[in-house]
Structure 1
């Protein structure tokens, strides 16, 4: 099994394990913020949420990321 994002630059048939018998999970539409709990300072997100979406939604809940990945 492989996860492919909307930013993936791979050709799915080439990255899929076991050739055509493998499974690819595409996260393009798994991009929702499920819950923001400002009191607990937590967010629950789908796994396709981008860092930009995460930062924007966190700000709406008066939250911020203590650090972020740099690529």
Structure 2
């Protein structure tokens, strides 16, 4: 099984890379590509996918906490 990667993009989407199955709340399967982006800002007209609507209207830079 290959490793799936989810990247939290600064001021943007969640970038998903790998062989994943994306389901809605009823268990219906979305058609996806090997790499796609999910909306994090709530402004996309193509939810759950990112359509770039966040540009200039969403700020979030999440980082892994540094261990002491």
TM (normalized to structure 2)? 0.26
**Structure of higher RCO (CA pairs closer than 8 Å, 6+ residues apart):** 2
Between structures 1 and 2, the one with greater helix share? 1
Structure of larger gyration radius: 1
TM (normalized to structure 1)? 0.26
